[in-house]
Chain A
Amino acid sequence: MVETTVPATDTPAAAVRNPLARLGPFLGLLGVIVVFALLTDTPDQYLSIRNFRIVVAQTVIVALGAIGMTMIMVSGGIDLSVGSVIALTGVVTAIALRDGLDPLLSVLLGVAAGGVVGVVNGLLVTRLKVIPFIATLGTLGMARGVAKWIAGQQTVNVPPTWVNELAVTFPDPEWLIVAPGVWLTAALAVLAALILRFTVFGRRVFAIGSNEAAARACGIPVDRLKIWIYGLAGLLFGLSGVMQMSRLRQGDPTVAIGTELDVIAAVVIGGGSLNGGVGTILGSMIGATIMAVLRNGSQQMGWPNYVQEIIIGAIIVVAVAIDGWRSRRG
């Protein structure tokens, strides 16, 4: 029956307009880079491979979080516990390393801890029927508390292992160009994008965010899928925590406060919607990069921290406003 003559994808509406819409964040990124290249006195330094490495290494933590957050937000949810989960999983990894566990096992433990918090979020949302904003606000507090508790309210120092090299700015061997963590993030981003786009699971994530009642009425196991979504995202947040620990070379239970907002901002700048049904991994990755470029550029210009904060805040609002304006006109 597949042989039935099917008209080729009708290009007019769907195909032409969408790429243009998707180009938006990309143009934004390009714009930010160009602006800084023009502002700086040393454009060749700013555009150097060295600075590129600095930017991508700084992006990893938010980017990994944004992969998970994109899935959650496309399904119509939100997760505020990201920052706390990063701290908790970093501490878990650090303690495992300190106690002499195998580095790989330690990393997996950290990632798994993130997955556990994610599944808890999913259960709160589906079984207790607490709205995601509140449920994850709760786990934000709980995960942070547990992190401080198991760390004994202090940083956990780790012995030198390869884990500490995961997210370094200048990798060894040099032919890697960027740190293994960056490659891993890119690979996971590609994988997640493929899953969202080409699997039944991915399409159902969109269906839930687009119209949950319809998805339910069509027999989609919405609750089970949500637990999966929060759980998978939790694994990514856990990996993000491992990267955070790797960069600090210690487990710090007070780190990454407010990182969830950076992660949400990355998704939103990348075209994701808080109302669900909309969002792409590529867009979110660009969103994360835009923020890292802004931070890096501001540092290069010697601007104080508060200037970065003001600019990033403004960018978020402008990105969403443009998006809304475009869809109203669209």
Chain B
Amino acid sequence: MSLLAIEGIRKRFGPTVALDGVSFDLRPGEVHALIGENGAGKSTLMNILAGALRPDEGRMQLDGEPYQPASPLEASRRGVALIHQELSLCPHLTVAENILLGREPSRWGVFRRSEARALAFDVLRSFSHPELKPDRLVGELPLAAQQVVEICRAVASRARIVLMDEPTSSLQRDDVDHLFALIRRLRSEGLGIIYISHFLEEVRAIADRFTVLRDGRSVATGPIESATNEQLVTHMVGRSVDQLFPERRPRPAGEVVLDVVDLVAPPVVRSASFTLRRGEILGIAGLMGSGRTEMARALFGLAPVASGRIRIAASDSLLNATPAARIQQRVGYLSEDRKGEGLALPMSVADNLMLTGFGSCTRRGWLDLAAQRRQARKWIDALGVRTRTPDQPVRTLSGGNQQKVALGRLLHQDADILLLDEPTRGVDIGSKAQIYEIVADAAGRDKAVLLISSYLPELFGLCDQLAVMSRGRLSDSRPIDEWTPEGVLHVAVDAMSA
């Protein structure tokens, strides 16, 4: 008997189809992994299960009864708890208050602090986190402890189904082990856990069964032991991985355009040296928080550099230049945070393309709107951006098309050095392939590309050279053929060998 059964769930947002027929079932005492690329619809599905969104079509049953939660409150009353990818805690409240948020013990409306503390302590007892005291303010806790608070909230709500959306994305190794131990305990108590992730190793370690989502559809399901990683990846991308990347043409390495020696950018980047040549794609691998993004931001003048040497196009450059100066030096930066930093979402596609290079369509400071539109259209066609007009707000585009606009800006700016930070994050598979092509094409036209990515197949499929960042130290860069995925991981997790 399944705890939760869902069938034929569909959901569209305007013209975008987010879910296009998802079915699977969850049994009591099982960890069921939902795997899929970013944009496959995992988060939409979670939100539907948690009552934050309503499906357009499809049926859901909880314990054999129809389940149509109209709100998160109703979902939680039925015993479904969602643990968000982005933590949803109140930093100004205490641990106990957060754990009991929405169901605070009270009498005559007066919050019963001692009872709350006792209830919270009951749940917290099972976690070996010394900083987790019921009276601590959540905002003062480290990230991993905050995540534990979220999980405690689910436990305290007596949830029978716990939805976990990429719960390890902000955790260190030890904390992941703690989390897994906890998940196993919940499982042994008969809870059903839906575990979203795209880390296959993690899924293997914790899940009993899996369902793969691709483009909003459930395409495969079964016991996790029955499938190899290759099969899972093939299900996820819908074609075998090697078709995803453009054919690599051997390029003669050009002159050095960026030479970085002993770059130190506190607090994260402790030492980074590398050279980047024209026509070359240098990959930077590493765990999240290892300092990859911080290095790129420091190079682009978005974070202070303490010491080191930066040579751009064979001449020494200021260590701490402004982004404007870097753009003058023909450096371009693609932020990993597309919505927060990469794009001006309410502005048009054309404006976003030109933000760093309005010069091409201005005369004495006045915009030539016709020229701007003409040039924007050129990039829209060249990059295959799906937009009706150049005047459409970027906000209305899909993630993949937004990212193409962000990349297009660097191309329009005609940067020689492209610092790309997670260029395919949150992008559907089709756009991914197009973005790979754009990047390879740029390198083919003698641009130098620094490609930061958490997705190893991407690095191996695209790069000429690879270096690994680990706890703020960048390893030597070596030709991609001398690396193996295992080797990269080994360096990434073990700072000593770097």
Residues of A within 8 A of B (CB): 1-4, 6-7, 9-10, 13-14, 198-204, 206-207, 209-211, 213-220, 277-278
- A219 CB, nearest partner CB in chain B, Å: 3
B52: A residues at CB distance < 8 A: 217
Q: In the complex, A206 Cα to B97 Cα: how many Å?
A: 10
Query: Is the CB–CB distance between B90 and A215 below 8 Å?
Result: yes
Binding site for A on B (CB under 8 A): 50, 52, 71-73, 76-77, 82, 84, 88-94, 97, 101-104, 106, 109-111, 113-115, 117-119, 121-122, 133-137, 140, 153
Q: How far is the CA of A137 from the CA of B201 in the complex (A)?
A: 54
Given A1-B122, A6-B117, A201-B109: A278 touches B92 (CB 8 Å cut-off): yes
Residue of B nearest to A202 (CB): B111
**Of A4, A9, A200, A207, the contact of B122 (CB 8 Å cutoff):** A4
CA distance A214 to B117 in the complex (A): 20
Report chain A residues within 8 Å CB of B50: 217
- Inter-subunit contact B93/A203 (CB<8 Å): yes
Q: Is the CB of B111 within 8 A of A203?
A: yes
Cβ B114 vs Cβ A2 within 8 A? yes
Q: A74: nearest residue on chain B (CB-CB)?
A: B92
Most chain B C-beta atoms within 10 Å of own C-beta, residue among A4, A214, A277: A214
Cα separation A300 to B118 with both chains bound (whole Å): 55
* Contact call B104/A4, Cβ cutoff below 8 A: no
Known contacts A9-B135, A214-B89, A218-B101; is-contact A198 B111 (Cβ 8 Å): yes
Q: Considering the chains assembled together, what is the distance between the CA atoms of A214 and B50 in angstroms?
A: 13
**Contacting A1 at CB < 8 Å: which of B73, B89, B101, B119?**
B119
Q: How far is the CB of B121 from chain A (nearest CB, A)?
A: 5
Provide the residues of chain A in CB contact with B93, threshold 8 Å: 203, 206-207, 210
Chain A residues near B122: list those with CB within 8 A.
1, 4
Q: Is the CB of A14 within 8 A of B135?
A: yes
Cβ–Cβ contact B72 & A218, under 8 A: yes
User: How far is it, in angstroms, between the C-alpha of A283 and the C-alpha of B147 when the chains are bound?
Assistant: 32
Contacts of A278 in B (CB 8 A): 92
Contact A13 B118 (CB under 8 A): no
* Residues of B close to A207: CB separation below 8 A: 90, 93, 97, 101
What is the CB-to-nearest-CB distance from B8 to chain A, in angstroms, rounded to a whole number?
26
> A214 to chain B: which residues have CB within 8 Å?
88-90, 101
Contact check, B109 vs A220: say whether CB atoms are below 8 A apart: no
Task: Given A1-B122, A200-B109, answer yes or no on A210-B91 (Cβ-Cβ < 8 Å).
Answer: yes
Q: How far is the CA of A217 from the CA of B117 in the complex (A)?
A: 22
**Cα(A215)–Cα(B73), bound, Å:** 10
A217 to B72, CA, bound (A): 6
Some 10 contacts from A to B, beta carbons below 8 A apart, are A1-B118, A2-B114, A10-B136, A14-B137, A199-B109, A206-B90, A210-B91, A216-B72, A217-B82, A218-B153
Question: What residues of chain A lie closer than 8 Å to B73, measured between beta carbons?
Answer: 219
> Lowest 10 A-B CB distances belong to which pairs?
A219-B73, A218-B102, A210-B90, A277-B92, A214-B88, A210-B92, A219-B102, A218-B101, A211-B90, A200-B106
Contacting residues, chain B, for A14 (C-beta < 8 A): 94, 135-137, 140
Residues in A neighbouring B135, C-beta threshold 8 A: 9-10, 14
Contact present for A198 and B136 (CB under 8 Å): no
B116 CB to closest chain A CB, in angstroms? Answer: 9
Most buried by B among A7, A200, A202: A200
Q: How far is the CA of A220 from the CA of B135 in the complex (A)?
A: 21
Given contacts A207-B90, A211-B90, A214-B90, contact A220 B101 (CB under 8 A): yes
What distance in Å separates the Cβ of A138 from its nearest Cβ neighbour in chain B?
Answer: 22
